[in-house]
Chains A and B, each alone.
Chain A
Amino acid sequence: MATTPSYNNDKVVTGEVEYPAGDPASGAFFQPDYKKNEDLKQMLDGSKDSLKLEAMKRIIGMIAKGRDASDMFPAVVKNVVSKNIEVKKLVYVYLVRYAEEQQDLALLSISTFQRALKDPNQLIRASALRVLSSIRVPMIVPIVMLAIRDSASDMSPYVRKTAAHAIPKLYSLDPEQKEELVGIIDKLLSDKAPLVVGSAAMAFSEVCADRMSLIHRSYRKLCALLADVDEWGQLALLNVLTVYAKTCFPDPNLENYSSDSEEKPFYDSESETSDHKRTVSPSVDPDLRLLLRAAKPLLQSRNAGVVMAVAQLFYHCGPIQELPPVAKAMVRLLRAPVEVQSVVLNSIAALTVSKRSLFEPFLKSFFVRNSDPTHIKLLKLEILTNLATEASAPVVLREYQTYVTSSDKAFVAATIQAIGRLAVAIQTETETCLNGLLHLLSSKDEWVVCEAVVVVKRVVGGGASSARAAVSRAAKLLRSDRLAGNARAAAVWLVAEHGAKHPRAAAILAHMVSNFADQEELVKLQLLSLAVKLSITQPDTLPMCKYVLHLARYDASYDVRDRARMLRKFIEPQNESLLAQYASHIFCPDKPKPTIQSNFKDRDQYTLGSLSQYIGSAAGGYTSLPSAPAQALAAELREPPPPEVQPTPVQKNKKTFYSEPEGESASGSTSSASDSSSGSEESSDEDEGNDNEEKPKQTNNYKSNSDSSDSESDSSSSSSDSGSDSEASSEEEAPKNDTMPPEPVKEETVKKNEKSNLELLLELDEVASTLPTMTPTCGGFLSPPTMAPSGIAEEDMITPVGPSIVPNRSIELISRVMSGGLSVNARWTRAPHLYSGKMCAIQLTITNHTSDDVTDIRINKKIVSGSRSIHEFPSIPSLGPGASTITLLGVDFADSIQPVEFTIASSLGEMNIVVTPQVGELIRAVNMSETRWGQEQRKLRGMTECNKKAPKMENDLIMCTKVFETANLGAVESPINFLKFAGRLMSSQDLVLLSVRIESDYSIVTVNCPNMAVSSMLANEIACSFSKYY
């Protein structure tokens, strides 16, 4: 059956179920496994997709059952290139599971993912990143890092979301990457797509939960996006924002409220906005208010986790008057599945200890049903006890009366305890409670009686009022000999404590002492106390006391003997010691009333709804919320940074975008913010179809804007408005966030603003200006793909610099002999071509050696492949005899040293020219700080690093010169004996980092570049140039 191809699930399952090794009882357990796997391997090695699928399904079945399938790794990993998407998916699942164990083999699959990362389909890009980052092999850290960095600026928000998910994975694999990852998180947090933000918040709390400074800049935007994020993202985001709010805003409950602290719903309709400005208590920071306002609707979420997260925010950061709606929502969760109930009740129990009034209106919701599981019953009981007030105590007590007859023993015991607590807590009910408890003492259920006695002992404590009745009852019980150990001891204590003057106490003692030897140890100890106390209050019982002590002296338990020996000192009349004098003070003092506390008293210290709160102790990785600062922190940091270049009308627009709304309603402004952001997202996203353009109106699920109720035409006009807003804002955004690599299209508009007159002139000439090209002076360095994580200061930026040495050496491309009189020499100028920053400018010197004019010299045919291109020089109409002219040719080598070919045509005919670049010429020197250099180099370790040993030269200067001659690199400040250089590849803008470490008798040349070919070639050439010196 294993060999028949079958697609459908049912057949596969039958196969799986019948499989001999699947069931240990079938006797196949001890059979060698290899045979079974052999046939799976064959199926995988075959060419039929159906067989492969079948095999993969069975392997996944093995994984699901937890059986080891690692020996199939080589066979499976081959299929990572499979065209069949289902096979591929299953291979991914397998790979993620076993890559950790088979690291070397797992590396085989990496190139597939690297290729897939460049796929035009966003789903494929995202899934490649997902799997690549899930493979826990330390060797691929640099590759994953690179992939994350690229994907974080992908055009598809889905891929960016995946990048956010990949960040914690990489972090757990190699915590050293933290700094760089933090940079990416920072970038993702300022993303405008709600899809991305939630995952970014998750990554933030996983990797760098303590870096609150990252939030400042995007705080207001995050608040605005909160409603649009998916529910799991809301959860993560709320948690982050709660910590942030706690860190940055003073506790709104500390200041005194003015009289207007009424609980009006805030900001629910626009007309009232200005009124509310005044009524909102001044102690709530406007930014905190923004968050609370954004979070409040989420109380209506269907997701219990989100509701709890909002409750957490309001409880820990919000003003106390706004808690009632939160309580209501929490009570609503009690209708959810029992697991949710359990967690919510736990939190409510902790809340009711300090904030009883919140849940008082919901008292009846906590009444226990017989069908509740025991731990739910106990929690409800706890809450009921906490909630009971003088007014509600009778109701609660009536409920308790029902509960004590339950068949659930643990619950009955807890109820009796609860009655005891109620008796202590509520003075007016003490009598009733005690009566009830005493009634229980005569219950037929011994178990109930024991529990009741113990509780009565606690309740009676010091208050003597009702003690008499209790003692009488206890005395009766003791006489009936129905009590077991613990309860009996408690009863004796009760008599000793409160019945010392009771006439029947002596009789009880006599009764108990009659079988002293058979009593339990605990009871014996209590009897000793009772005897001594009696002898003090009723001196005529002294002989009996002595008798008891005598009995105890020969007891088997040393505790009892010890106690007896000590007590004897108090009652012996012969030595009128101090002890005997003060005996009555020692044994019969006035004791304060005991307080019985809730078990949940200390749960308050943990964050509401956290795992730690549930289990009552700090869980691993738990960090408590920081205490609120006395003053609001970093308010100015939350202001959006002032844009640098900005036309005035846009600036005005900007004001209303972020700052507190004045005329406009709050909800309106936030939704317009989100609209404009989604609008800009769409305009820059080519993967998304145009159909999304119509959607922004329908997006705002929680904050439907006021105008959506209006006519269609109105909404369409407003959406076009927001569209234009978004354009404006994206335009201004780009120069502001110059740390973000803007997408090329956007960048074009940015640079238009910055162009000088000269460039504008140039642009008029260039027909190709509509193409996404770089303007000359910027040299394309405005948009380095690997940017510094923001937060790195200006001096840490990478700036292009001119070449250190421009070699004078020229290469003869065409000799006069071959062409019949026209020679062409080329020289590398080491400067980018004016046409595009990706092009090397090559200076051509064309000389006419003939005696006639050569006319119409131009480039005729260009033979270029791939992304490489040539920008021809303007054709030369004529060149006089003996004259020579200099012109510039631009060649984009696309970072490879493949030669480019072209022909120069002239009146003398066509000549073929081949230009082969040196790898050093494909680089452009850049300037950067040493620390930045170090950071960048750390990112490029592993496969992208190339080392070469080279001879050593007498001094650093010569070595520097050699390096500059070989490659167009910029020097980086560096220590002695460790020279550092940096450059960028012309075309891809990848960084090239070169270092020369000088050892005692040799030097080591290290090149780091994402382009592995470049790094190895450059290392070779540099090493070569060093050796040529000799």
Chain B
Amino acid sequence: MIHSLFIINPSGDVFLEKHWRSVIPRSVCDYYLEAQRASPNDVPPVLAAPHHYLISIQRGGVALVAVSKQEVAPLFVIEFLHRVVDTFQDYFSDCTETIIKENYVVVYELLDEMLDNGFPLATESNILKELIKPPNILRTIANTVTGKSNVSSILPSGQLSNVPWRRSGVKYANNEAYFDVVEEVDAIIDKSGATVSAEIQGYVDCCIKLSGMPDLTLTFVNPRLFDDVSFHPCVRFKRWESERILSFIPPDGNFRLMSYHVGSQSVVAIPIYVRHNLVLKSNGDQGRLDLTVGPKQTMGRTLENVSLEICMPKCVLNCSLTANQGKYSYDPVSKILIWEIGRVELPKLPNIRGSVSVASGADTSGANPSINVHLTIPALAVSGLRVSRLDMYGAKYKPFKGVKYVTKAGKFHIRM
């Protein structure tokens, strides 16, 4: 169980603490800070201090450190902390130090509702939003005028119903249901351009604004594509197992309906190629870099928002390059070269070339930088997944329905 929570900013100050049991002095965070100082980007999520166990996550520039006094499932705590950050993002649209400080009262009330004596009480966003209204300008004004507060005095009925994720009495003038099918290509491409591993991680994100208690059924044209799936608790699993359709009563608002994985068996289309040539001479102090980007297996779509990120070897001091498209920047401290290309339109292939200055006498052999690729392909699900239809039961109106597909590069690495 979680005894206490500390929120720490990047400079190592504890700026919020909350205790659900006896107070644990904040000095316990020193163990975390020590680990963070040793390797800022590589703090193990579980740390053992003499009498406590620190379980931490880092998100949005802040670190959430949960303290437990005894054995507890680490994934339970980590999952919960992520849920806390998700809730903050849901409420305040972001989770940064400034935003938490600005809204500390709501934050405190939220933490109090979410955890009771170290055990989660209410984590569904629909329930929390009924208990504690998210702050917005209109409500702030209304509260000032009417003297009402952000805290609701009635128990959200969802908590008691058998559909705890949906609040009751939802009413919209325009009933809409939007589905975003987002696919991310995770791949490792080796030096010679061969694919070492490639898989697709997909999500179906929904924005559902429907009145009443709609019962939705989402059908896919080719559901056999999925290797592995995980669902929002609202999805009826038996129905999926037997008929391969998603049958659910949705929560109100935005949520992730399912995430899926396509990979191991099927061949994954790699939408981009990068021809690269990096020469670092150890004797001279100049090296050469030449990169060309081109589309590959894009099924006729254009690549958009393409950008390459290269972590150069330590010996590289600076780069002077010329790009025929987009712009580049090089940070000599973190040694990261970023080339933002934008749209890739045939027949012109984006190219960047120029010289890199190398520290003299440095050892340049064996350095193997890698390229991280970012891109989006609109209106395409690279796995070929298609939604066939959406049916609604349990409500009289005709909702407006929409499906959008997009493909992105996930963890897309090219080894140089």
Q: Taking beta carbons and an 8 Å cutoff, which residues of A are in contact with B? A: 6-10, 12-13, 16-17, 49-50, 53, 57, 60-61, 63-66, 84-86, 89-90, 92-93, 97, 100, 121-123, 126, 130, 133-134, 136, 156-158, 162, 165-166, 168-169, 172, 194-195, 199, 202, 206, 227-228, 230-232, 235-236, 239, 268-269, 297, 300-305, 307-309, 328-329, 331-332, 335, 337-340, 342-344, 361-362, 364-365, 367, 369-371, 373-375, 399, 402, 404-407, 443-445, 609-612, 614-615, 617, 619-623, 667, 678, 687-689, 691-692, 695-696, 698-706, 708-709, 712
Contacts and interface: CB of A to CB of B under 8 A. Distances in A.
A692 B160 CA distance: 9
Contacts of A235: 73, 76
A445 B69 contact: no
B102 A130 contact: no
B22 A232 contact: no
A365 B370 contact: no
28 contacts: A8-B143, A13-B102, A64-B18, A65-B17, A121-B154, A158-B160, A195-B160, A195-B164, A202-B119, A232-B80, A236-B119, A268-B241, A303-B79, A308-B75, A332-B230, A332-B261, A339-B82, A369-B188, A402-B368, A405-B367, A444-B363, A445-B363, A612-B71, A622-B70, A692-B160, A701-B236, A702-B238, A706-B238
Contacts of B103: 9, 13
Given A136-B22, A301-B233, A703-B238, A444 B104 contact: no
Contact of A375 (B42, B53, B102, B135): B42
Nearest to B370: A370
A340 B79 contact: yes
Nearest to A130: B116
A607 B70 CA distance: 15
B17 A64 contact: yes
Contacts of A168: 1, 117
B276 interface: no
Interface in B229-255: 229-239, 241-243, 247-249
A273 to B, nearest CB: 14
B108 A445 contact: no
B176 to A, nearest CB: 21
B21 interface: yes
B140 A614 contact: no
Given A100-B22, A232-B123, A302-B256, A407 B238 contact: no
A342 B119 CA distance: 23
Contact of B79 (A305, A373, A699): A305
B147 A50 contact: yes
Contacts of B386: none
A53 B199 CA distance: 53
Contact of A309 (B57, B73, B393): B73
A617 B46 CA distance: 13
B228 A367 contact: no
A65 B79 contact: no
B233 to A, nearest CB: 6
Nearest to A621: B70
Interface in B70-117: 70-76, 78-80, 82, 101-109, 112, 116-117
Contacts of B102: 9-10, 13
B358 to A, nearest CB: 15
A405 B228 contact: no
B100 to A, nearest CB: 9
Given A301-B230, A364-B196, A621-B70, A342 B44 contact: yes
Interface residues of B, number: 120
Contacts of A611: 46, 53, 68, 71-74
Contacts of B157: 689
Interface string B1-38: 10000000000001111110111001000000000000
Contacts of A297: 237-238, 241
B153 interface: yes
Given A85-B149, A158-B155, A374 B42 contact: yes
B168 interface: yes
A956 B294 CA distance: 104
A89 B163 contact: no
A301 B68 CA distance: 25
Contacts of A338: 45
A704 B247 contact: yes
B353 interface: no
- B contact patch SS: mixed
A307 B231 CA distance: 12
Contact of A66 (B14, B159, B411): B14
Given A232-B119, A405-B366, A615 B48 contact: yes
A232 to B, nearest CB: 4
A231 B311 CA distance: 40
B331 interface: no
Nearest to A56: B105
A407 B188 contact: no
A9 B71 contact: no
Given A156-B160, A165-B117, A202-B119, A123 B155 contact: yes
Contacts of A7: 140, 143-144, 147, 149
A610 B150 contact: no
A988 to B, nearest CB: 27
B267 to A, nearest CB: 13
A609 B230 contact: no
B78 A343 contact: yes
A696 B161 CA distance: 9
Contacts of B314: 407
A756 B314 CA distance: 94
Contact of A444 (B39, B151, B162, B366): B366
Contacts of B79: 303-305, 340
Contact of B168 (A17, A166, A621, A691): A691
Contact of B238 (A199, A698, A704): A704
Nearest to B371: A370
Contacts of A700: 236, 238
A691 B213 CA distance: 11
A202 B76 CA distance: 13
B120 A232 contact: yes
Contacts of A692: 160-162
B61 to A, nearest CB: 15
B41 interface: yes
B411 to A, nearest CB: 6
Nearest to A665: B238
B345 interface: no
Contacts of A309: 73
Contact of A343 (B74, B234, B370): B74
B69 to A, nearest CB: 7
B45 A343 contact: yes
Nearest to B365: A444
B70 A609 contact: no
A609 B104 contact: no
B283 to A, nearest CB: 13
Contact of A134 (B106, B117, B227): B117
Nearest to A402: B415
B223 interface: no
A376 to B, nearest CB: 8
A16 B16 CA distance: 14
Given A65-B15, A328-B228, A445-B366, A305 B160 contact: no
Nearest to A235: B76
A371 B413 contact: yes
B119 A60 contact: no
A304 B153 CA distance: 33
A644 to B, nearest CB: 31
A90 B106 CA distance: 10
Contacts of B190: 402
B368 A405 contact: yes
B259 A302 contact: yes
A86 B76 contact: no
Given A199-B119, A232-B119, A609-B74, A337 B163 contact: no
B201 interface: yes
A444 B14 CA distance: 45
A123 B154 contact: yes
